[in-house]
Structure 1
Amino acid sequence: MNTVKIGWIGLGKMGIPMSQHLVKAGYPLNVYNRSKDKEDAFKAQGIGSAASPAELIQHTDVVFVMVSDDKAIDDIFTGENGLLKPEVSGRVIINMSTVSPAISKEMAAKCIAQGNHYLDAPVSGSVKQAEDAALVIMVGGDATAFEQVKPILEKLGKLAMLVGDTGAGNTAKLAINTLLGIVAQGLAETVTLARQNGIDAEALTTLLNNSALGSPLIKIKGEAIVNNNFNAAFALKYIAKDLRLAKDMGADTPLAQTAYKTYQDAEAALGEEDIIAVIKHLG
């Protein structure tokens, strides 16, 4: 049994399978989620739950945070019962959310002032990769703190890599997700063009998957188009959010601008569906 006590905040589609890998690895775990019903499955396993982030951090050595956006991070860290409220020290707080480099730098400074480490460690991959512990984890922050928690991160992904100082993980993730938005839109446009000219999606995606352009993303999202399955593995509203953050970071090249506009325009109608539902907006 591992002796490092871990807290996990955020039991969404990614947080649940990721935290379960730590349970399987033998780490003592406590969880916190704003919607308390999501804690029930963990309680059934004998896993503890905390009433607040403030309570959670007092009983853990390492805290993972996996939530949706900058506002949620601000609430979790600085809210009335936030992580920073108890003023405990010696913790490593790992923020795996896809958020702005700016919020990471702000929260890192607050953590350091209390004697804690902060790592931004967003992931590349969706629910399937989370379930398979096959995520790619990009980390920004102190190298010593990273080496301390790297064995834990390696239970969650196939690669955990320090890419720079605080905010570097977020920067890398937003750059990668800019490409994700561009490629998903490109696939949707390619299928649309083929359909308009008498070639069905299944035939086209078979050709793509056997060509130099084939990739796991093309395969998975191509199958989603063929099966008309737009249930969200990665919701369109999140790529719209990530492209807004990338734009704020300086993404103003032609393809980035085009993807940004496309997903912002599609978000109101298709935000809860998968990213590849952008094909409905383009068609």
Structure 2
Amino acid sequence: MTTTTKVAWIGLGKLGLPMAARIAAAGYPVQGFDLSAERMTLAEDAGITSHRTLASSVEECHLVFVSIPDDRALLGLTLAPDGLIEAMASGSVLIETSTVSIEASARVAAAADARGIAYLRSPVSGNPVAAESGTLSAMVSGPREALDDAAPVMNTFTKAQYWLGDEEQARYAKLAINLMIAVSAGMMGEALAMARKGNIGWEAMLDLMADSAVGSPMVKYKTQPLKDRDFTSTFSAAQMAKDLDLILGCAHGDGVAVPLAAQMREAYSSLIGTGHGEDDYIATIHHTERLSGLPAIESASGARG
């Protein structure tokens, strides 16, 4: 299928590029922009037309998607003079897919509204593998009619879009989901340390966890990497620490008690401080094993992790 509907994608990182590539593969002309020349080359290889300037990348595009790392990048990209909000046409739709704070998102919403731009907060749940397979879930808030416009394109890289309201509801939802993921990673670390102390085989316990009442999609997804002691990052410990800072700020601002979030933030601080910041977030295993006096396990390949 080929369509004349042009789409812009700003931010072609580990998650942004596979999402944009799926849109291009579905037949939509995609205009891409990223500060990294390497990412732009990869985008060209995926059928995305790279642009040297932010302004040219959004020309004639009714839908503009953004995928960036944090608040600072979002505010710099959107609100700076000659930034994205200024470059976009009135009546277009800005779809922001990242995990950012409520406060930063609200500032973008105000600037977009002043320019007559519909703003969808649309953080996604999943990892680069899910992005490549088109099975991400999108939490969406903002004008419902804008989601109706964007849904056909979003269907190329998501399995579902959950519309949650007109304002910042999607930001709250994404932070709540990431809190559950962080705490689940901590629980898995403690459970596996207990099992090792009880002389249960590493792989046997992982199989049991995956097949038990707590065998969530996350547990199942992490079972094989943990069997292999493979901590290659799909979402790093440092990134999880950043998200936990957002969660704590959001919760404290709204008077919500989140002791588990605070505890996990300290656990990730420990991981970062001991050289595991770029490991996958499931490296909480290292933290609980170290606290429990357990040695590293040798993987099937002979590596110790």
Same fold (TM over 0.5): yes
- 1:271–1:52 CA distance, 2 compared to 1 (3 A): farther
More off after superposition, 105-114 vs 58-67: 58-67
Q: 2:165 and 2:121 mapped to 1: Cα distance?
A: 10
Q: Displacement, 1:44?
A: 4.0
Could you say what secondary structure the match of 2:87 adopts?
coil
Q: 1:106 and 1:121 mapped to 2: Cα distance?
A: 15
Output aligned runs, 1:131-170, within 5 Å. Answer: 131-170=132-171
Contact 1:53 1:76 in 2 (8 A): no
Instruction: Name the structure 2 match of 1:252.
Output: 257
Q: Displacement, 1:273?
A: 1.0
Q: Displacement, 1:30?
A: 0.5
Instruction: Name the structure 1 match of 2:237.
Output: 236
Contact 1:54 1:84 in 2 (8 A): no
Q: Displacement, 1:87?
A: 6.0
Instruction: Name the structure 2 match of 1:275.
Output: 281
Structure 1: which 5+ residue stretches go unaligned?
none
Output aligned runs, 1:59-138, within 5 Å. Answer: 59-86=60-87, 88-138=89-139
Contact 2:21 2:46 in 1 (8 A): no
- 1:20–1:70 CA distance, 2 compared to 1 (3 A): same
Letter of the structure 1 residue corresponding to residue 269 of structure 2? Q
TM-score by length of 1: 0.95
More off after superposition, 231-240 vs 48-57: 48-57
Q: 2:277 and 2:81 mapped to 1: Cα distance?
A: 30
TM-score by length of 2: 0.88
Contact 1:122 1:173 in 2 (8 A): yes
Letter of the structure 1 residue corresponding to residue 232 of structure 2? N
Q: Can you list the C-alpha shifts for 1:7-35, whole angstroms capped at 9, x where unaligned?
A: 11111111111111101111111100111
Q: 1:46 and 1:202 mapped to 2: Cα distance?
A: 41
The answer to whether the aligner puts 1:261 opposite 2:266 as a matched pair is yes
Contact 2:25 2:47 in 1 (8 A): no
Q: Displacement, 1:188?
A: 1.2
Contact 2:31 2:58 in 1 (8 A): no
Letter of the structure 2 residue corresponding to residue 215 of structure 1? S
Instruction: Name the structure 1 match of 2:301.
Output: none
Q: Displacement, 1:80?
A: 4.2
Could you say what secondary structure the match of 1:84 adopts?
helix
Larger Rg computed on CA atoms:
2
Could you say what secondary structure the match of 1:270 adopts?
coil
Task: Give runs of ≥4 in structure 1 deviating > 4 Å.
Answer: none
Structure 2: which 5+ residue stretches go unaligned?
290-305
Q: Indicate the percent of aligned positions where both proteins have the same amino acid.
A: 34
More off after superposition, 181-190 vs 194-203: 194-203
Instruction: Name the structure 1 match of 2:24.
Output: 23
Contact 2:17 2:43 in 1 (8 A): no
Q: 1:78 and 1:63 mapped to 2: Cα distance?
A: 15
Instruction: Name the structure 2 match of 1:213.
Output: 214
Q: Can you list the C-alpha shifts for 1:123-156, whole angstroms capped at 9, x where unaligned?
A: 1111221111111100011111111111111111
- 1:9–1:43 CA distance, 2 compared to 1 (3 A): same
Contact 1:52 1:82 in 2 (8 A): no
Contact 2:271 2:284 in 1 (8 A): yes
Letter of the structure 1 residue corresponding to residue 43 of structure 2? F
Q: Displacement, 1:207?
A: 1.0
Q: Can you list the C-alpha shifts for 1:255-283, whole angstroms capped at 9, x where unaligned?
A: 22222221233234222110011211222
Could you say what secondary structure the match of 1:67 adopts?
coil
The answer to whether the aligner puts 1:199 opposite 2:200 as a matched pair is yes
Q: Displacement, 1:86?
A: 3.2
